[in-house]
Amino acid sequence: MNSPPLLDVAGLETHFPVRRGLLRRQVGSVRAVDGVSFSIAKGRTLGLVGESGCGKTTVGRSVLRLVEPTAGTVRFAGTDVRATHGAALRALRRRMQIVFQDPYGSLNPRMTIRAILEEGLVIHRLGTADERLVRVRAALERTGLTASALERYPHEFSGGQRQRIAIARALVLEPDFLVLDEPVSALDVSIQAQVVNLLVELREQLDLTYLFISHDLSVVEYLADEVAVMYLGRIVERAPADALYRAALHPYTLSLFSAVPTIDPARRRRRIVLSGDVPSPARPPSGCRFHPRCPLAESVCREADPPAAGDAVHVVHCHVAARELDRAGDAGAAAARITDMLARSGSATLSGGVGT
Ligand code: SF4
């Protein structure tokens, strides 16, 4: 029997009010996250991908209640996170940490590395001063830095080292779960691989569970067991990483994949060029939210929200994908047909990325 997931998110919504006028009356709301569900088993990694502004960062922050969700449930190790308050919420937060994208902005420039790493232990009243120092040193060493960093300041370190310090700050509280919010996007490409490898090692050594948020599909492929693709506040496709990279079904997912540079001729894809901008989450389109940009949109797409199609592990929200799955009987054949339809739609151009 499968063990229950460490994190279980159901129907998560996070809306932000839009206010106008002298009296700051609410005139609408931005539906940044609008009905997102997923779960992550212990020791596994879910990659959450999509363009900037799709709501993926808000999902990560809502799960930790760094922003307050509007609706839905978030259960962590069986505890209802949204119904938890005070000391119980603090105890839960010790087990759920976040690493932010910007290692320059997320570390206080006036604090030494020792003070930055110790801060969480002080807030959670963990250990004596000597015990805290032992934990701070251990966390720093786990990320490949030495105790010589302790009395120095963030500006004395490179971007990659600062992100290691940010990871050490999360680890010092001995969490079970990390939200990694674009943790390598601000780093040089040469440093990205080192930090990604470090995250893989730490996951194995400490049995950590990750929600890995990124717009970079090649990094996600390396790290994630399962991938969820977000568009305009909703998950449009979710599958085990190998299944998604082999046979993506949603036209939006296929357009994201087509933009990934590759030097492997076997993986070279036609570039799918989407027209138009991402619509405002304050006024999401009717029916399928992707329809104003989708090369395969039909009249039903403008009218009806696509329900979930596929099987228990590979789920897609698309009318055309659902029909092709019915016809073809398996995801691989359906994905090939949808890719062919996109190529014939005139939205695809042969580019193939690096090397062409
Ligand atoms: Fe495109 Fe229609 Fe599928 Fe939406 S439901 S992705 S508009 S084909």
Query: pLDDT tens digits, the chain, 356 residues: what are they?
Result: 466 899 999 999 999 999 988 888 888 899 999 999 999 999 999 999 998 889 999 999 999 999 999 999 999 999 999 999 999 999 999 999 999 988 778 899 999 999 999 999 999 999 999 999 999 999 999 999 999 999 999 999 999 999 999 999 999 999 999 999 999 988 888 899 999 999 999 999 999 999 999 998 889 999 999 999 999 999 999 999 999 999 999 999 999 988 776 656 565 566 777 777 788 888 999 999 999 999 999 999 999 999 999 998 999 999 999 999 999 989 999 999 999 999 888 766 544 433 22
Residues 272 and 344 in one domain: yes
pLDDT of residue 121: 95
| Residue corresponding to tokens 């902005």 | 105
> Which of 195, 220, 246 is the C-terminal boundary of a domain?
246
Tokens of 26: 């609410």
Residues 345 and 275 in one domain: yes
The number of residues in the chain equals: 356
Residues 257 and 223 in one domain: no
pLDDT of residue 348: 61
Closest CA to 231 of 207, 215, 209, 248: 215
Tokens of 266: 């076997």
pLDDT of residue 349: 58
Residues 212 and 344 in one domain: no
Residues 18 and 43 in one domain: yes
> CATH number, domain at 25?
3.40.50.300
Residues 264 and 345 in one domain: yes
Using most ligand atoms within 8 A of CB, pick from 253, 289, 293, 301 the residue to mutate for ligand 1: 301
* In-domain check, residue 15: yes
Report the pocket of ligand 1 as residue ranges, CB < 6 Å: 250-251, 288, 290-291, 294, 296-297, 301, 306, 318-320
Instruction: Determine the distance separating the centroid of ligand 1 and the alpha carbon of 3, expressed in angstroms.
Output: 35
Task: State the closest ligand 1 atom to the C-alpha of 321, by its place in the atom list counted from 1.
Answer: 3
pLDDT of residue 188: 87
Query: Which residue's alpha carbon is nearest to atom 7 within ligand 1?
Result: 291
Q: Does pTM surpass 0.85?
A: yes
Instruction: Determine the distance separating the centroid of ligand 1 and the alpha carbon of 14, expressed in angstroms.
Output: 24
Instruction: Determine the distance separating the centroid of ligand 1 and the alpha carbon of 272, expressed in angstroms.
Output: 14
pLDDT of residue 259: 77
> Tell me, what DSSP letter sits at residue 4?
P
From first CA to last CA, the distance across the chain in angstroms is 49
* In-domain check, residue 34: yes
Number of domains within the chain: 2
Ordered alpha helix ranges (H), the chain: 56-63, 86-95, 113-123, 129-142, 159-171, 189-206, 217-223, 241-246, 251-258, 299-303, 319-328, 331-344
Task: State the closest ligand 1 atom to the C-alpha of 298, by its place in the atom list counted from 1.
Answer: 2
**Are 61 and 261 spatial neighbours (Cβ–Cβ below 8 Å)?**
no
Residues 224 and 279 in one domain: no
Task: State the closest ligand 1 atom to the C-alpha of 294, by its place in the atom list counted from 1.
Answer: 1
Task: State the closest ligand 1 atom to the C-alpha of 296, by its place in the atom list counted from 1.
Answer: 8
Query: Which residue's alpha carbon is nearest to atom 3 within ligand 1?
Result: 318
* In-domain check, residue 171: no
> Which of 216, 246, 276 is the C-terminal boundary of a domain?
246
* In-domain check, residue 257: yes
* In-domain check, residue 18: yes
Tokens of 172: 């010092």
Domain that holds residue 62: 1-84+208-246
Residues 264 and 335 in one domain: yes
> Which of 228, 246, 264 is the C-terminal boundary of a domain?
246
Instruction: Determine the distance separating the centroid of ligand 1 and the alpha carbon of 87, expressed in angstroms.
Output: 46
* In-domain check, residue 164: no
If one counts every other C-beta atom within 10 angstroms of the C-beta of residue 190, the result is 8
* In-domain check, residue 181: no
Instruction: Determine the distance separating the centroid of ligand 1 and the alpha carbon of 37, expressed in angstroms.
Output: 20
Residues 231 and 305 in one domain: no
Residues 302 and 313 in one domain: yes
Residues 235 and 263 in one domain: no
Residues 281 and 213 in one domain: no
* In-domain check, residue 36: yes
